[in-house]
Amino acid sequence: MRNRALPAREMPGRRSKAVPSEGDKPVQVKCVCEGAGLRTTLREDLDRYAFAAEVGRGHLGQAGVLSPRWGALLQQGLWATAAYRICHYARYRRHSQWLRMLADVSRRIVLAFTAIDIAPDAHIGPGLWIPHVGFIVIGPVRVGRNCEIFHGVTLGARESFMVQCSPRLPTLGDRVWIGPGAVVAGVVTVGDDAAVGANSLVVHDVPPRGVVLGVPARLVSRRGSFAQITYRGMDVDGERNAALAADPEADLADTIAPARARITTQELSAEMPEKRADHLEKEWIRRSAPK
């Protein structure tokens, strides 16, 4: 008789080794529990900090006292990311209760030093860079590769965890830049190469290459996060090059019209012919007059 593959049974109190999925559809964002090894992921995280020091974006890189790799090991953002990686690995790949407990204790110790709270249930791709520490809360969300998150950022659900058993959480694509003080809440998808401005509140989807600002955040550009996101090998990254070659101003005229409603007459005169500028100046004065 042929041996039949029996379905794997999950032991009581333990998690399955199966890849996390959303219904019957496998997750898109890859993290340490979804194929990539722990060492490989930690190495990519470390290389992201080392590259930032090499190009002068980190404080240690500007000082020039230590080598980029040794200087990266002193970055508190890397400490918080490494503690999350280990705790996440212990939860989804290992079934030792002692290992999970030690990993959780280490994560809480790092939290006390860095003020960066990353949920162990989050699925974060390799290459995460946190330039500045302080008051960062990342819930059980999904984050792509080579993202950049600044201080004061909150990624989580709209509703309280006490209200719903399955909170509605956001998903971030690859190479996403989140500015200081930004909040991304609810069932929100932030596309690849998108950028969220400082102190913005994102409650709606952000298209790929989209740049959003404000409360609530509105789309103001499609130039993407290419000027902010840097990492080793970005020049030969096929996905990044394909996104960079796309039209940055496609379908943008209708989205930025409200933001430029109060354009000055000087700007109109500089951008358009004289007759057209005169006509628009009269129209602007008519609309701006008190009713």
Q: How many CA atoms lie within 13 A of 217 on its CB side?
A: 29
Backbone phi and psi for residue 30, each to the nearest 5 degrees, phi listed first = -95, 135
pLDDT tens per residue across span 145-194: 999 999 999 998 876 554 445 567 899 999 999 999 999 998 999 999 99
Stretches where the chain sits below pLDDT 50 are 1-27, 59-63, 162-164, 250-277
pLDDT of residue 214: 92
C-alpha span between 230 and 99 (Å, rounded): 35
Check: pTM over 0.85? Answer yes or no.
no
pLDDT of residue 65: 58
Pairing of strands 21-22, 25-26: antiparallel
The DSSP annotation for 91-152 comes to HHT---HHHHHHHHHHHHHHHHHH-EEE-TT-EE-S--B-SS-SSEEE-S-EE-SS-EE-TT
Contacts of 247 (CB under 8 A, 6+ apart): 222
C-alpha span between 181 and 145 (Å, rounded): 21
pLDDT of residue 14: 40
pLDDT of residue 108: 87
